[in-house]
Amino acid sequence: MAKKKRKIPQRKCVVTNEMKPKQELIRIVRNKEGEVFVDPSGKKNGRGAYVTNDSAVIEQAEKTGILSRQLNAEIGPSIYEELKQFVTGHTNEG
């Protein structure tokens, strides 16, 4: 019997509006307390928005303020900084 191919979850980048595999996107979450943070695991509770794992896309998101609109929350420069570090592969976490 042929092995069943697993369906790859697709998500839409809020900046480019492209559907991409979830692994190629970074999730940003706003929780009930209104805190916004980067969610590399993609499993935290809250309102999530996805951006493509690409520094140009993240800079565009920062310029247009699309994440603030999508998550209906204030997005501080530290979030964009964390996203840029995530793209380059340098994360602050352990």
CB 26 within 8 A of CB 53: yes
CB 22 within 8 A of CB 9: yes
d(CA 75, CA 35): 9
Mean local confidence (pLDDT), 37-41: 92
Domain assignments of the chain as residue spans, ordered by start: 11-88
Residue with tokens 């492209």, as numbered in its chain: 18
The pLDDT value recorded for residue 39 is 94
Mean local confidence (pLDDT), 3-19: 90
CATH superfamily for 11-88 is YlxR-like (3.30.1230.10)
Rg, Å, the chain Cα set: 14
pLDDT reading at 93 higher than 50: no
| Alpha-helical runs (H) found in 1-94 | 55-64, 66-71, 77-88
Q: Phi/psi of residue 54, each to 5°? A: -150, 125
Residues of the chain above pLDDT 70, percent: 91
Residues of the chain above pLDDT 90, percent: 79
Mean local confidence (pLDDT), 44-64: 96
